[in-house]
Amino acid sequence: MIKYILTTILCTLVLSNCASLNHEPKRYCWVTGLKPEKADYYRKLHADPWPSVTKQLKDSHIQNYSIHEIDIKGKTQLIAYLEYTGKDFDADMKRLACDPEIQRWWKETDPCQSPLPQAKGIWADTKEIFFLK
């Protein structure tokens, strides 16, 4: 009987873990330019990001976040892809933007970036036209 109860508890824990893994995240993809004279510093920062920054991102329900660079017609562009697993993206982003460590990080990274004309801030939005789970 004890074995049965323990096994049932284990199953419940595993199932609840799987349920969280199966939660559907919302995808975001953004683009910004990278200034040639600041590119190496930007790459260096992102090769070894501050733990205070990565912790804040995770606490803001961001996962599977990658940044990729590519030259498009002589200009280096950065592509950010990330997934948001929270319930209120705007609220989480506002809270993130108020964090002193995030502000200290952006003070280093913002001057490296060269936003596209249509961007409201640093990163310009893209539009998703296809998704295959």
Residue selected from 26, 36, 54, 110 as contacting a second copy according to rule CB under 8 A? 54
**Residues of this chain, 75-94, that bind a second copy according to CB under 8 A:** 75, 77-79, 81
Burial, 40: exposed, middle or buried (Cβ in 10 Å; 0-12, 13-18, 19+)?
exposed
- According to the binding rule CB under 8 A, does residue 103 interact with a second copy? no
Q: How many residues does the chain have?
A: 133
Residue selected from 3, 23, 107, 120 as contacting a second copy according to rule CB under 8 A? 3
Separation CA 49–CA 51 (nearest Å): 6
Angle at which helices 39-47 and 100-109 cross, to 10°: 140
Task: Give strand pairing partners of 78.
Answer: 32, 69
- According to the binding rule CB under 8 A, does residue 64 interact with a second copy? yes
Which positions touch a second copy (CB under 8 A)? 3-4, 7-8, 10-11, 14-15, 17-18, 21, 27, 29, 31, 42-43, 46-47, 49, 54, 57-58, 62-73, 75, 77-79, 81, 116, 118, 124-133
